Structure 1
Amino acid sequence: MSTASDPGALLWAELERRLPDAVALRHRLHARPCPSGDEAETRDEVLAALPVRHGVTKVAGTGAVVRVGGPGPAVAVRGEMDALDVTEETGVPWASRRPGVMHACGHDVHLAALTALAGAVDRVGGPVPLLAVLQPREETYPSGAREIAEDGVLEREGCQAVIGAHVQPLLPAGTVACTPGVVNASSDEFTITVRGQGGHAAYPHLTRDPVVALSHVVVALQTLVSRGTDPMSAVVLSVTTLSAGSAANVVPGIAVARGTVRAMRTADREAVQARLVEVASLAARTQGCTAGVEFVHGEPVLENDASLAAAATPLLGESGLRVSPDLRSAGSDDFSYFSQRHPSLMLFVGTHGGTAQLHSPAYLPSDDRVRDVAYALTAGYLAAAELHRQRTDHEQGARHGH
């Protein structure tokens, strides 16, 4: 934690003072979750807890960007607003009051922490202004982060960096991963449609069976990663649904498979997709069928800025959080659309301690994690502000011939 002689000490102290209100907000958001694309109520609840006198820009349908701390170059801090189509099983008094919808991914924690940081910056000042990014549709397509990034609002607001944090039950409570480089994989979905010639199951020689053909396709795809990509570079290809036919004595004309491809390198992402199309087509042809492949392109690779990670690490330690070893996963997050355009840092905040996994109906991070996420976001914000100051000083020195 900063000392009294540190100009940031007032910010940390004010942040701590605001945590009870942030926890109360977390409870309200958790009790009234809003699904992806319908986050207006959540947005308005969070806006009511934010200082908005320096301007609010509506974006991405139900999203908003709030400037805190006056004009000038700023650091953006992202908070996701959407909940999941999950029926809650936590039993807490502030559990979801909307059947079938739940904050099972910690977005309520992220938003509450963001309001504490924004309020502290507004109250005691910060080294640079802050942009509170209230993002819709993190859990579904079309991505809210992509729409915000492509809108250009962050560039218009003078954004110098984007900071995010996500709760992570794979880490112990009280720890934060601040990993440089790629931390999350790209994520794309595919649909393979195999077409053959249907007929009576008693006369298979008169058919071109798409079920058998699709089975060959699925088996062939299992070697696409194990024998087609560098084993030192993570790639995941999973076929997750199969569908065909409706009667036991009828060979259908069509069989369909769906699945996902994830990669930690953009080059692998592109290569695997190209090979998937080729392998599916060739495997289906061996059975006298054809195969077509359609992709829904999702999030790109999420890459943390190495300088931001290095600058934030000591601040995390000073705040009392333990910095964990590097954490990377084949999970994905549309925060990656920000990392493609701005220096960015995604921090993973540990919640393990009796909690279930993300997206589980029993997943409920402790209220103490609001503090941890707020501290992680603050460390990222201060690190980005310091790097901006260093760049500005360097540019001014260069202009003056120093």
Structure 2
Amino acid sequence: MTGSESAAAQRWAGDWAGGALLREALAAELPGAVALRRELHAQPCLSGEEGPTLKRVLEALPGAQLEYVAETGAVLRIGGPGPAVAVRGELDALPISERTGVPWAAVNGAMHACGHDVHLAAVVALAGALSRVQAAKPLVVVLQPREESYPSGALDVVRSGALERHQVAAMVGAHVQPVLDSGVVSCTPGAVNASSDEFEVIVTGAEGHAAYPHLTRDPVVAMAQVIVAAQQLVSRAADPMVPTVVTFGTVNAGTAPNAVPGEAVARGTLRTMSETWREALHDRFTQVVRDVARAHGCAAEVRIVRGEPVLVNDSALAVRTGELLRHAGRTVTEELRSCGADDFAYYGAIAPSLMMFVGVDTAAGLHSPEFLPGDDDVAAVAEALLAGYLTAAG
């Protein structure tokens, strides 16, 4: 081990040892957090309807300075004045009917199929621990609505100005991730999630009888060619070193098998790990759609709804938090990047931010009706958030 590596190891060991009281306090909070997780899981609320979830989480949090934001969200502060470290918990669930079979499964047609119940419980455990122990910096808890839908709850939180009012100097988040082995934590510097924008393509032709195609302008054929041509943006227009996704998720046209319809409509998503290419991708996609439709005697309209930007982890936060977790005995990887998206990305415009991914032991993937992290995963996420807090507060 070199001298610099040795000094760094001693510093990380000191940080973790210095957080011993916090770790003991966190352990004391975990039984209540697990019970809360099950309660939240059984009573999920959809995006924009998170009021009951917010109320229950606020009841579980220690008394603190409270500000309501983003319609059904809140920001609260634990600790005194000065720069603070913020953590995020997502309030909303998905419109999925649960099929886990556990006694505390949701039965209202909504489901915490993305782990938000685990995240919220972990945030509550961390907040409770910090309220017990005099911490290095205040903690700001962001209870965010609408992570799963537009308009983005994170963007509304940012626009509210609450983070600036609380002098947030760093933002920390952790998300369960079944593609990682249980307990493994990803602390990856740089871009870790893609931007995500939704599109709608409307191709207009000339309807007519299916037996006389020469008298029509078939928007279905044109749309089929649009879908194929758009894929070449990935293979021939995008830099091979920049991940890019063009996905058509829905295609609708016509009402009768023996008639050429007048219109075809498709919807999908554009994703990339580069903000610069993101803008060019929008332009190239629009140009390709219009030109291909025109080549088939049709016209095309393209509408793009901007979603989350690229999620970029602060390198210093990621590296040091990873080393802190390694010292605590966790297996840490810096390899996980995906074209998934998370509106946590918006917080990076306010302060250095870090999104970690925590492996969970479940065969089902995110957004599956059978997705069910274990109760122990509350502790794993809480420990990751504590490491992020200690790094940012140091």
Match of 1:212 in 2: 221
Q: Give the C-alpha shift of residue 3 in structure 1.
A: 7.7
Match of 1:59 among 62, 69, 83: 69
Alignment of 1:117-266 (within 5 A): 117-266=126-275
Q: In 1, are the aligned partners of 2:97 and 2:107 still within 8 Å (CA)? A: no
Residue by residue over 1:267-305, the C-alpha shift from the partner in whole angstroms, topping out at 9 and shown as x without a partner, is: 111111100110011101111111110011110000000
Residue by residue over 1:17-55, the C-alpha shift from the partner in whole angstroms, topping out at 9 and shown as x without a partner, is: 110010000011001111111011111111011112x31
Residue by residue over 1:223-267, the C-alpha shift from the partner in whole angstroms, topping out at 9 and shown as x without a partner, is: 111000111110011112111110112111111111111100011
How many pairs are equivalent? 383
Q: In 2, are the aligned partners of 1:189 and 1:259 still within 8 Å (CA)? A: yes
Match of 1:296 in 2: 305
Match of 2:90 among 71, 80, 89: 80
Match of 1:47 among 36, 39, 58: 58
Alignment of 1:216-365 (within 5 A): 216-351=225-360, 353-365=361-373
Match of 2:22 in 1: 11
Q: In 2, are the aligned partners of 1:176 and 1:376 still within 8 Å (CA)? A: yes
Q: Give the C-alpha shift of residue 5 in structure 1.
A: 9.9
Q: In 2, are the aligned partners of 1:2 and 1:12 still within 8 Å (CA)? A: no
Q: Give the C-alpha shift of residue 325 in structure 1.
A: 3.7
AA aligned to 2:383 is: Y
Give yes or no for the alignment of 1:68 onto 2:78: yes
Give yes or no for the alignment of 1:94 onto 2:104: yes
Runs of 4+ in 1 over 3 A off after TM superposition: 1-7
Q: Is there any run of 5+ residues in structure 2 with no aligned partner, and where?
A: 1-11
TM-score if structure 1 supplies the norm length? 0.93
| Closer/same/farther in 2, CA of residues 230 and 58 from structure 1, 3 Å limit | same
Match of 1:104 among 102, 107, 113: 113
| Closer/same/farther in 2, CA of residues 5 and 252 from structure 1, 3 Å limit | closer
Secondary structure of 2:237's aligned partner: coil
Q: Give the C-alpha shift of residue 179 in structure 1.
A: 0.4
Q: Give the C-alpha shift of residue 4 in structure 1.
A: 11
| Closer/same/farther in 2, CA of residues 325 and 222 from structure 1, 3 Å limit | same
AA aligned to 1:14 is: A
AA aligned to 1:364 is: L
CA distance in 2, matches of 1:247, 1:312: 59
Of 176-185 and 198-207, deviating more is: 198-207
CA distance in 2, matches of 1:133, 1:23: 20
AA aligned to 2:242 is: S
CA distance in 2, matches of 1:51, 1:3: 28
Match of 1:116 in 2: 125
Of 130-139 and 221-230, deviating more is: 221-230
| Closer/same/farther in 2, CA of residues 268 and 15 from structure 1, 3 Å limit | same
Q: In 2, are the aligned partners of 1:2 and 1:8 still within 8 Å (CA)? A: no
Q: Is there any run of 5+ residues in structure 1 with no aligned partner, and where?
A: 387-402
CA RMSD of aligned residues (A): 1.4
Percent identity reads 57
Q: In 2, are the aligned partners of 1:321 and 1:372 still within 8 Å (CA)? A: no
| Closer/same/farther in 2, CA of residues 125 and 94 from structure 1, 3 Å limit | same
Residue by residue over 1:303-356, the C-alpha shift from the partner in whole angstroms, topping out at 9 and shown as x without a partner, is: 0000111221122123332112421000000000001221000000001x3431
Match of 1:35 among 21, 39, 46: 46
CA distance in 2, matches of 1:287, 1:240: 22
Match of 1:389 in 2: none
Secondary structure of 2:378's aligned partner: helix
Residue by residue over 1:52-106, the C-alpha shift from the partner in whole angstroms, topping out at 9 and shown as x without a partner, is: 2x310000001000101122211110000101111111111111132x1011000
Q: In 1, are the aligned partners of 2:219 and 2:262 still within 8 Å (CA)? A: yes
AA aligned to 2:348 is: S
Match of 1:368 in 2: 376
TM-score if structure 2 supplies the norm length? 0.95
Match of 2:7 in 1: none
Match of 2:5 in 1: none
Secondary structure of 1:172's aligned partner: coil
Match of 1:390 in 2: none
AA aligned to 1:7 is: G
| Closer/same/farther in 2, CA of residues 371 and 5 from structure 1, 3 Å limit | closer
Residue by residue over 1:344-402, the C-alpha shift from the partner in whole angstroms, topping out at 9 and shown as x without a partner, is: 00000001x3431000011000100000000000000111111xxxxxxxxxxxxxxxx
CA distance in 2, matches of 1:206, 1:235: 39
Q: In 2, are the aligned partners of 1:65 and 1:134 still within 8 Å (CA)? A: yes
Secondary structure of 1:360's aligned partner: coil
CA distance in 1, matches of 2:84, 2:16: 24
